[in-house]
Every structure is written in C-alpha cells, then in structure tokens.
Structure 1
C-alpha cells in the first residue's frame, strides 16, 4: 500500500478557472463596499452629514442601487468561496491520502497573523482575521453529513441571529427595566459615535502616524463589540454553504449541475430581490426620521431577514456567473477577472494601501468629502489597474506576492515563485 503523500500547494494546472474568475468578481464588489462605507469615511460621519452627501438626485440613485445590488452581497459571495475552497482543498488532500487538518491549521494561523497586522497597522476593516478564526470552527464540520451542515446553516442564519437579536433588544429591559435599558443603550450609542468621530478626526490628519494610531485604537476598541458573535455566526453559515457546494462540485462540474444552478439562480435572485426591495422601501420610508435609542421590534426581525436575503442574492450571483461562464463569449469576458481571483489576497491588501493614501488626510484627503458616485468610480478605476497588474505578474510568477508569503510560511519553506518558460503549468494556464 503506498504511503500517503504530504499535502502541498496546488499547481497552476490544478486551478479551477471559473472559481478564480468568480473570486475576482467578488473581490471587485467587496472593494466597492469597503470604499463607499469605510475608506471614504461615510460610516464614520454623523447621520445628517452622510445624508447631505446623498442629497443630490444622482447620489440618491447610486445609493439605492448600491444598497440593492452590492451591499453585503459580494462579501457573502466571497465568504461562500472561502468555504468552497476549503472543501476543494480537503478533497484534494484526501485524494493524496493526506490529512488536511495540520496544514490547514498552519494556513489559518498565518492568515490570522496577516489579518491582525493588516487591521492594526493599516486598516481597521480587516476581514482576514475573522475568516481565520471562523475557519478553525469550520474544521469541525469536515466530516459531518450534508444534512448536518445544512441544518447548521439554518440555525446560524435564522435561529441564532433571532435569539441573539431579541436577547440584545429585550434582555436589558427584563433585567434592569425599560428606563435603565434605554439609558444604557443611549450611553453605548454615544460612546460608539465618539469612537467613530475620533477615528474620522485621526484619518483626516496630515500625519501618517496620527492616522494609523487612530486606526489601531479604533480596532482595539472594537475587538469585542456586542455584534461580533452574531457576525461570526453569519460568516460560519456562509462558509458552510460553500462547504456543501464544494462537496456537490457545484462550480467544478457546471454541466452536470446545470439544472440545480438554474434553480439556485431563480430562487436566489427571486428571494434576494424581494428582500432587497422591502429593505429599500423601509429605508426610504424612514429616511429623515430620528434613529430610535433602541431598535423597534420589526427592526430586530428585519436584520435576520436581510442576512437571508444577502445569502440568496450572493448565491444567485454565483449561479448566474457560472452559467454565463459556460458560454464562449461569457468565458472570454469574465475570464479576464481570473488573475485577480488568483491574487485576491495581494490585491485585497493593495486596495487597503492605495485607499488609505487616496482618502486619509496625509494623502489626497478625500475622507468624509467624496460623494458615493465618485467613490464607486474611483474603486472601478483602481480595480481595473489591479486586473492589468495581475495579468502581468502572473505571466511571470506562480503566485501573487502575499500568496507566496502565505504559502511559504504555511509549508515552512520558500515556494518556487517563477514560472519556467516552457513548464506544463504555464501552458495549462
């Protein structure tokens, strides 16, 4: 009986071109979301000031389109692909007769280190550290049945969010009374507003040191926010949907799964659009009204409904992308994004570096001043340049620079970086 081969990084020829292109597509949406909310400082502005930026008709339309089609949908898709990638790595490790656990733990540990460095040294909105922490929990599901996995998806998307939301909303009232609970909620909200104002002031400074100190302080203050457990539950649920899709080879064998993908497309976009429409109507209806100190009962349930809508819409996007990718013209157009997907970690970190320079006071100083439409255009311009750079880089190298560091630290040795001029791997790519 042959000995199990050790796990190692996959070769270029083993990559699934569709998954790379879809990851590049998701990265674009994530970048737009990060730009219009956090990099631009919109999430840090007082509500009245943020609404003033959206007052022109063009900005109102762009804001509505962003909320309808982009907000949280692409980060959902990105998380789904993380879980699917885990399934893919697990199946390849099993084919080699190796265990995925030791390598994957090291892989997550390195990702956690990269994420924490990114969060405290560059940008507070890091998602890598959260993915790494939740990834350790994902390992517990590697041998669970599909039924168990999907049951946990329902629990994580519906049951736990509702329980946590209602506990956060009504628990203080039951324990301390309505008046005391309202006072505590106002204190918490005022503290959060003060933290955001301090961060915006720091980012507006013309000193790099002041900006990054404010960033690190805000990151530390928000490590244990009350909403973080709910956020991590949602991310784990997205990972598990990706794990299930990977087991079904949903995006590896599109032809065999064409009927299922069409159903996912129909239900995903159908449910996602219905929820997005309801959310948009409620937002327009309540625009200009003061924010209540404590969320109203319908708001608690609406938060859970929105997460379900994000999941369905994200899956609908994945199915539409996969089906379009099977057409010759679709593959030619969408395949342009594949190198960006292969270098997603490098481009994600580059986006933070470039955006900090674009928006912070020591750079071009756009933070808190740029309307949403211009942030979107700026994001599209930066990402277009990144796609070109990714094509040029991967014409010579096997990995992006950050991916090379990640793999080298994971396997404890420097990975071969350059592509041989006549290697089969390059020919396959």
Structure 2
C-alpha cells in the first residue's frame, strides 16, 4: 500500500503530556548514569583508583544510592518509552489506513545517521544507533499476538542473558579445562584493562583530535568485544514491553488502568528491592574480597537477578509517575519536565557535548578526577539548565533543533519551525 500524502509530524495538541514528562524524567536519570560511569571515566579507572574516589562515607553512600536507584533503571525506562512510541505511531498509521513500514524505516535510518555522527563527533557510548538498528526488529512484532510478544520478552530479557552468561562461565572450562580457562580469563581481563587505560589516556589529552581518535578507536575495537549481544537482547525486550503497554493504552488512559498501575507498584517492589539489593550486597562483598567472580560459579546467574531488579524498579517509577500525574498538584510540578521530553534528542546530544567539554582533557579535564557526589551534582546542575532552555525554545519553535532535522529528513521536506499563527506552542497546563 502506498503511503498517504498527509502523513506528518503530530501537532502539539496531539501529544500526550504524561509521556513527554516521563521521557524528560527518564532522560535526567540516563544523564546521571552516563555521567557517573562514562563521562567521568569511572568505568575506565583501575579498581584501586576508583575505590579511592568512593572511599569517604559520603561517596560510599552516593555510590550505593546510585547503584540501587539509578543504575540501569532509567535506560530501561527510556527503552520502554521508545517501544511505546512505536506503538503510538503504529496506531496512527493504521488509523490513516497506511503501512507504518516505509515511514518508520526512513525514521530509523535518519536516527541511525544521527547516532553514527554522535559516536564519532562526540561520544562512543551512543545509544541512538542501537535503537535505530533494533527498531527494525520492532517492525517484525507489529502484528504478533500479546502472548507471542510477551514470550519473546522473557526470552530476550532473561533467557538470552542467562544462556550467554552460562556459556561464558562454563564453555571455556568444558572445552579447555579449568586451569586453561582461568589463565585465558586472566589474560582477557589484562587486555581489557590495558584498552581501558589507553582510552582514559586519550580522553585526558589536551588535544580534541586525540580524544576523538581514542573515542573512535574504543568504539571500533573494544566495544564490539563487550557483551553487546546480551545488552541488545535486553534493549529489544524493553522495546517490546513498551509495545505491549502502548497497545493497551496503559499510559494514555491511566484512570481506567489505575488498578493495574497499583499492582505494578507492588510487584515492581517485590522484584526490584531484592534484585537490586542482591546486586549491591554482591558488589560490597567483591570490594571486601569475599566474593570472586572467577571462582564462585553461582555468579553466572547474577546478571539475570539484577535484570529482574532493574525491570522491577523501572516499573515502580512508571506506575508511580503515572498515578501521581493524575493529581492536579503533582501534575503541575511534573509537567515542567514535558518540554525536556519533547526535545529529548536535542537534550541528549547537548548532554554529550557539554560533558566532553567538562570531562575531556582539552576541556576542564575532570575525567578520572571527580568523586561520585560531584559527578551526580554536576549532571543534575546541567540538567537543571536544560529545563528552562527547553521551555524557552519550545515557546518559540515547534521542535527542538535535532527533532526538526530528524523529522525533515524523515518526511523528505523541511518542516515549518515556527508555530502557525494563533496556535499554542506548548501544551497548556491542565
């Protein structure tokens, strides 16, 4: 079926303010997480140096709070919202009597181009390119039953990570014996540490070109060796959860689904507290030398337990946000984040640009130097500036700059940037 000529970006009046606000909330958590682990260089530091930065009581508390409440929860939420957005676009295409495939494929290809540019111009930790690639897999599930989609969620989020972890743990032992497997694991870790140190050295350079060369080298030669299959499998599973939520209007008709959200709060806590608590306890035991992943075979199941914890607390955030948003007083506060969510792509790219200026050696050179509390405070301060900036921009224009580019390339024509005379730019507070 040919695509109708009236396919267009949605107007402000058609947007769901709850989803925009929730996306802004998720973007804040994603930025804190990226700053804490990546932009700060913490994940690249030798263990002793990272532990020294986190040793004071305040830093230990901040690190523990981050691990329990932030780590992987907001990236889970962000991926969930991507899948939910696909579901909304699918419903709108069906309402027009059109196939979503041509337009959505162009949308993903443009996003892929933006992501690749982001990788090499700014930061190797880009998620846009991954979302674009996995977005094509979403198209395969658009006509699948809920039961089929849910089965794939279980396989992708828990089955694949568990199988990969088991193969990594026991495969070398079965093939080469315990001693040879241990030596190979030790050599692999030494090589990984060397590559991290090389990347950190590049980021610490006072030359922009040296830092970006190190960034590109890390993306091309190190990240592909990481557990990309496990991570991408989990991301696609989160997409599919968003697809299911969108199908049943769970966040577009919250009042009707209020009992469901209350149950989600309870079950999210049941899964989230033990799952994240286990991860936090194991981390502390490792720091104390009481747990050794190379020797304790039960550790292969830890990523699956943690994934349950991530999903549980992310579900708590979604349900709590949705229920509170139904209250007038809370809605007035929470919808302050809606413009940030409407400009999520622009703000995400801005976060990377500002962060490399703050942390890389040619900028302020904070990489590898700041303790956890200062990294969190710095990221929250930058995000706090993005809130009024987003309000200011959207009071004058229909889209953020990156959103305008994305839509214009997707639809094959420049979209009008200024609002139509007499039309509201931002959704009115209800």
Alignment of 1:230-309 (within 5 A): 230-289=230-289, 292=292, 294=294, 296-309=296-309
More deviation, 293-302/50-59: 293-302
CA–CA distance in 2 between the matches of 1:15 and 1:321? 17
Alignment of 1:25-174 (within 5 A): 25-174=25-174
User: TM-score when scaled to structure 2?
Assistant: 0.96
Contact kept, 8 Å, 1:182 with 1:293, in 2: the verdict is no
Deviations 1:240-260 (A, max 9, x none): 000000001000000010000
Contact kept, 8 Å, 1:18 with 1:335, in 2: the verdict is yes
**How far 1:6 sits from its partner (Å)?**
4.4
2:217 maps to which residue?
Answer: 217
Contact kept, 8 Å, 1:7 with 1:99, in 2: the verdict is no
Alpha carbon RMSD of aligned pairs, Å? 1.6
Contact kept, 8 Å, 1:73 with 1:314, in 2: the verdict is yes
3-state SS in 1 of match to 2:140: helix
Deviations 1:22-74 (A, max 9, x none): 00000000000000100001000001100000010000000100101000000
3-state SS in 2 of match to 1:224: helix
CA–CA distance in 2 between the matches of 1:10 and 1:146? 27
**How far 1:155 sits from its partner (Å)?**
1.0
**How far 1:291 sits from its partner (Å)?**
7.8
1:179 maps to which residue?
Answer: 179
Contact kept, 8 Å, 1:21 with 1:337, in 2: the verdict is yes
**How far 1:396 sits from its partner (Å)?**
0.8
Gapped regions of structure 1 (runs ≥ 5)? none
**How far 1:294 sits from its partner (Å)?**
3.2
How many residue pairs get matched? Answer: 427
CA–CA distance in 2 between the matches of 1:406 and 1:176? 50
3-state SS in 1 of match to 2:97: coil
**How far 1:213 sits from its partner (Å)?**
0.8
CA–CA distance in 2 between the matches of 1:343 and 1:366? 27
CA–CA distance in 1 between the matches of 2:223 and 2:48? 27
Deviations 1:196-218 (A, max 9, x none): 10111111111111111111111
1:416 maps to which residue?
Answer: 416
CA–CA distance in 1 between the matches of 2:122 and 2:101? 30
Gapped regions of structure 2 (runs ≥ 5)? none
CA–CA distance in 2 between the matches of 1:295 and 1:124? 32
**How far 1:295 sits from its partner (Å)?**
6.4
CA–CA distance in 1 between the matches of 2:115 and 2:295? 32
2:199 maps to which residue?
Answer: 199
**How far 1:13 sits from its partner (Å)?**
1.0
CA–CA distance in 1 between the matches of 2:245 and 2:204? 44
**How far 1:169 sits from its partner (Å)?**
1.2
Contact kept, 8 Å, 1:110 with 1:406, in 2: the verdict is yes
Contact kept, 8 Å, 1:164 with 1:230, in 2: the verdict is yes
CA–CA distance in 2 between the matches of 1:215 and 1:410? 29
